[in-house]
Amino acid sequence: MDDSRRRAFERALSHWSEVFVFARQLVRDPGLSEDLAQEAYLRLHASDAPLDDDRPVRTLLFTIVRNLVRSRARKRFEGPLGGDEDEFASDARSPEEIAHAREDGAVVRDVLAQMRPSWRAALYLADGLDCSYAEIATCLGASEDTVRTTLYRARAHLRSVLARGTSRHGRGDT
C-alpha cells in the first residue's frame, strides 16, 4: 500500500459510523452491522480499486456493504425454509398502534423498523446523509427512477403513520 492509498484508507475510516449505520438499515442487528461494516473495510483494503476523488470512498463502502447483504440474503434464499430471522424482525403492532402510543421520535424509529430494508437505506442516504439521487442509486444498485419512487413511497408511508398519530393526539391535523 503506497502512502497515498494508506492515507485514503485512513480517510475512509472517518466514514466508519456512516457505514455502520448504513449496514444497520439493511440488517437491524447491531452486531451483524458492525461485522458487515468491518468486512467492507477489509475488502476495500484488500481490493485494488482506485481510492481517489473520482470515486468517493464512502459510496464504494456502501456498495460493498450492499453486496455483502445481498450475498447473505441470497444464501438465506437458498437456505432452509423457515421463519424470518431476527435481523429483519419487525414490530408486530400495527402502524396505528405505534403512532398512537409514542412520540414522534420513537414513532419514526418504530416505523423505520417495520420498513423494507431498501426503503430504510434509501431514507438514510437521502435524509440522513443528503446524498444525491445518483449517489443513492449507485449505493443501492438501483436506477435513479427507482430511488425516487422508493423515497416517495417510504416518506409517504412515514407521513401517513405520523399523520394518524398526530390526528389521534389532536395535534396539527386540521
Partner 1 sequence: MKDDEFSDLDLGAIRWSLREHFDSERRAAPPVPRRLHSIAAANSPRRTRRFGVGLATGCLAAASLIVALSLRQRADASPAAALGRAAANYLSLDDATLRIEIESVALAFMTALSESENADTRSNFETMVFFVDVARPDRFVIRRENESKPGIALAGCDGSKLWSFDAGAGRAQVLDLGDDVDPPEFDLTRWLSFEFVSQIEKEAGRGRLVEVARSDQENGAGGLRRFRVEPREGVGSTSPFHWSGATLTVDAPTDTIVDARITLQVGPLRFAEARVEIVARNSGFDPRHFSVEANVPESTRIVELAIHEPTFAAESSQDVDEAVADEPFAIVLARTGMRFSELESVLRRNLISTSTAYGLKVVSVAPESPAARAGILPGDILMKWNAQPVRSTRELSDWLDDRAAPASVPVEVARRKRVSLLSRKPWIDVSLTLTPEPRR
Which among 90, 99, 135 is positioned nearest to 117, based on CA atoms? 90
Choice from 53, 54, 81, 92 touching partner 1 (CB under 8 A): 81
Residues 21-50 that bind partner 1 (CB under 8 A): 21, 24, 26, 30, 34, 38, 41-43, 45-48
Query: Least CB distance from residue 20 to partner 1, whole Å?
Result: 4
Residues 83-112 that bind partner 1 (CB under 8 A): 83-84, 88, 104-105, 108-109, 112
Nearer residue to partner 1 within complex by CB, 54 or 75: 75
Each residue 121-140 as x (binds partner 1 by CB under 8 A) or -, in order, gives: --xx--xxx----------x
The residue type of 27 is: V
Q: Tell me how far CA of residue 95 lies from CA of 40, 85, 92, 107, 117, in angstroms.
A: 34, 21, 9, 9, 17
Query: Least CB distance from residue 166 to partner 1, whole Å?
Result: 8
Choice from 73, 96, 100, 133 touching partner 1 (CB under 8 A): 73
Q: Is 64 in the site for partner 1 (CB under 8 A)?
A: yes
Q: Is 170 helix (H, G, I), strand (E, B) or coil?
A: coil
Q: Is 66 helix (H, G, I), strand (E, B) or coil?
A: helix
Nearer residue to partner 1 within complex by CB, 97 or 156: 156
Q: 71 and 52 in contact (C-beta within 8 Å)? A: no
Query: Least CB distance from residue 97 to partner 1, whole Å?
Result: 19
Which among 107, 90, 79, 82 is positioned nearest to 28, based on CA atoms? 90
Q: Is 6 in the site for partner 1 (CB under 8 A)?
A: yes
The dihedral over CA atoms of 97, 103, 108, 110, expressed in degrees to the nearest 10, equals -40
